[in-house]
């Protein structure tokens, strides 16, 4: 592994690479408020062993990447896509296979729409082409899961202020997002959350700005049909954040795409499915 800081699109971006830079580049784009390190180490290792030069990075406002005053400099998923392309520029990479999870899947769609010449293939995991509705804090046409609605209300009524409170809050959310595929591993999840926020001076800053960016972003449901990159959509049947129908609809809207449903997977990466997901990505990107 090698860590680097790259100036991209006027933003300082932290990234970490795995493998040989002579191998085909595979860019991992993470979701709302989450660090690049949220991509499981095991997934990165398997992709590297499959002959890929793996790159994971912190989006603007997360981890070790630069922070933005959103009120003074608002941004959308299109801007975050430009950040990703700028990162590739800074690393000297002409084209990459792009894999996005959750909000990262929204960013990945924008890369495919706005920078089609920069990606060889697109993989979207647990995401949607629909816009987020500020009135319901969920995707258009989706009823907010009552457990998530209760968690939202608790954050507003009693916002976490200490590091431990942030960890406990994220742990509670992770329990809600976990599917029934495997038993919830509290110790491992806590360790991941602690690693995510260890470099954040304000653990809530990224989430607040990313939510605003998602609300301000365009509806892609009528646009994704123009995506020409080979596309793989992976979605869990138990996802309460981006319900299963969203993944299915996204795959149906992109011509020639492949849809991989995973029974029992929620909004996350349970260890038991990582070999299956890595194998699917390697097969897809190797076509």
Task: Give the pLDDT confidence score for residue 45 in this predicted structure.
Answer: 98
Q: Which residues are catalytic?
A: 102, 239, 267
Task: Give the pLDDT confidence score for residue 195 in this predicted structure.
Answer: 77
Range of the domain at 121: 2-285
Task: Give the pLDDT confidence score for residue 112 in this predicted structure.
Answer: 98
Q: What is the CATH number of the domain that holds 221?
A: 3.40.50.1820
The residues pairing with 122 across neighbouring beta strands, listed in sequence order, are: 98, 231
Task: Give the pLDDT confidence score for residue 203 in this predicted structure.
Answer: 56
State the residue for tokens 């992709």: 47
State the residue for tokens 């959350």: 193
280: Cβ–Cβ under 8 A, 6 or more apart, which residues?
232, 234, 260
Could you tell me the strand order of the sheet in which 119-125 lies?
2-8, 11-18, 53-57, 25-29, 96-101, 119-125, 231-236, 258-262
Please report, to the nearest 10 degrees, the dihedral formed by the alpha carbons of residues 207, 240, 268, 156 taken in order. Answer: 30
Please list the rounded mean pLDDT of every run of 10 residues in the chain (287 residues). 93 97 98 92 98 98 94 97 98 98 98 98 98 87 91 90 88 93 87 75 76 95 98 98 97 98 96 96 95
pTM over 0.85: yes
Task: Give the pLDDT confidence score for residue 197 in this predicted structure.
Answer: 73
Task: Give the pLDDT confidence score for residue 137 in this predicted structure.
Answer: 83
Task: Give the pLDDT confidence score for residue 199 in this predicted structure.
Answer: 60
Task: Give the pLDDT confidence score for residue 47 in this predicted structure.
Answer: 98
Task: Give the pLDDT confidence score for residue 11 in this predicted structure.
Answer: 94
Number of domains the chain contains: 1
Task: Give the pLDDT confidence score for residue 200 in this predicted structure.
Answer: 56
């Amino acid at each position: 592994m090698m860590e680097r800081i790259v100036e991209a699109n006027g933003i300082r971006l932290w990234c970490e690479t795995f493998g040989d830079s002579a191998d085909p580049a595979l860019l991992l784009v993470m979701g709302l408020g989450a660090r690049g390190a949220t991509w499981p180490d095991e997934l990165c290792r398997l992709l590297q062993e499959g002959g890929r030069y793996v790159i994971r990075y912190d989006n603007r406002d997360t981890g070790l990447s630069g922070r933005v005053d959103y009120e003074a400099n608002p941004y959308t998923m299109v801007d975050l896509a430009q950040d990703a392309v700028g990162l590739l520029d800074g690393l000297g990479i002409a084209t990459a296979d792009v894999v996005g999870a959750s909000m990262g899947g929204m960013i990945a769609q924008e890369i495919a729409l706005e920078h089609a010449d920069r990606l060889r293939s697109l993989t979207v995991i647990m995401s949607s082409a629909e816009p987020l509705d500020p009135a319901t804090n969920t995707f258009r046409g989706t009823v907010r899961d009552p457990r998530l609605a209760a968690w939202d209300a608790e954050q507003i009524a009693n916002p976490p202020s200490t590091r431990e409170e942030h960890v406990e809050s994220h742990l509670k959310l992770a329990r809600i997002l976990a599917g029934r595929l495997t038993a919830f591993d509290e110790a491992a999840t806590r360790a991941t959350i602690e690693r995510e926020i260890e470099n954040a001076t304000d653990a809530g800053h990224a989430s607040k700005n990313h939510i605003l960016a998602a609300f301000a972003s365009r509806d892609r449901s009528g646009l994704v049909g123009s995506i020409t990159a080979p596309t793989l959509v992976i979605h869990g049947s138990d996802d309460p954040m981006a319900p299963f129908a969203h993944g299915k609809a996204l795959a149906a809207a992109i011509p020639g795409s492949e849809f991989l449903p995973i029974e029992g997977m929620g909004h996350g990466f349970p260890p038991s499915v990582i070999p299956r997901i890595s194998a699917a990505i390697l097969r897809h990107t190797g076509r």
